[in-house]
Amino acid sequence: MAPMTDGVVLIDKPAGMTSFGVVARIRRVLSSQAGKKIKVGHTGTLDPFATGLMILVVGKECKQAGTYSKLDKVYEATFMLGKESTTGDPEGDLTDIDSRVPTQEGIDTAIARFTGEIRQRPPIFSAIKIDGQRAYKLARNGEEIEMPERTVTVHSLECVDYTYPELKVRAHVSSGTYIRSLAVDIGHALGTGAYCTELRRISIAQWNVSEAQDLAAFGIEN
Domains and CATH numbers, the chain: 7-70+205-218 (3.30.2350.10), 73-204 (3.30.2350.10)
Catalytic residues: 47
Predicted pLDDT of residue 126: 57
* pTM across the whole model: 0.90
Note the pLDDT tens digit of each residue in 78-122.
Answer: 999 999 998 899 988 899 999 999 999 999 999 999 999 999 987
Predicted pLDDT of residue 149: 84
Note the pLDDT tens digit of each residue in 60-86.
Answer: 999 999 999 999 999 999 999 999 998
- Please write down the HEC assignment for all residues of the chain: CCCCCCEEEEEEECCCCCHHHHHHHHHHHHHHHHCCCCCEEECCCCCCCCEEEEEEEEHHHHHHHHHHHCCCEEEEEEEEECEEECCCCCCCCEEECCCCCCCHHHHHHHHHCCCEEEEECCCCCCCCEECCEEHHHHHHCCCCCCCCCEEEEEEEEEEEEEECCEEEEEEEECCCCCHHHHHHHHHHHHCCCEEEEEEEEEEECCEEHHHCECHHHHCCCC
